[in-house]
Amino acid sequence: MHPWWGMDAVDAAVDFAGTGEMGQGEWWAADVKDHASATLLGRNFRWDPRATAQRRFLVLPEHRFGQHRYVDDLVSEMEGRVAGVEVVSENRFVDQVLARCREHRR
């Protein structure tokens, strides 16, 4: 795991194959955001093009997933502008990373 990869291009990057270079091997990258307005976050969110990970995540705190329509509104605002970014909760992201680590060790 690489925190603040690329001078904070993303908040965390995971190099499953240990290649040391994003874009080579299997990399996942996460940009972590917490904004009161899903609409403003969705309109202003940009993925840093330097982060060429195979899986890209916009990670939100758990309490945002509990807010009525927050994720739906966020995804709607991002639609057509930000492609290939999965919106997940922090717990879901950690669970997916750990599951992939277990698979990779087999």
Is 22 or 106 the better-scoring residue by pLDDT? 22
The owner of tokens 């840093």 is 48
Domain that holds residue 18: 2-105
Look at the chain and report how many structural domains it folds into. 1
Alpha carbon distance 32, 17 (integer Å): 23
Alpha carbon distance 93, 99 (integer Å): 10
Alpha carbon distance 29, 85 (integer Å): 10
pTM above 0.85, yes or no: yes
44-100 pLDDT tens trace: 999 999 999 999 999 999 999 889 999 999 999 999 999 999 999 999 999 999 999
- Per-residue pLDDT band for 8 (boundaries 50, 70, 90) equals confident
Q: Is-contact 22 52, C-beta < 8 A?
A: yes
- Per-residue pLDDT band for 4 (boundaries 50, 70, 90) equals confident
Q: Is-contact 4 29, C-beta < 8 A?
A: no
Q: Which 3 state secondary structure label does DSSP give 60?
A: strand
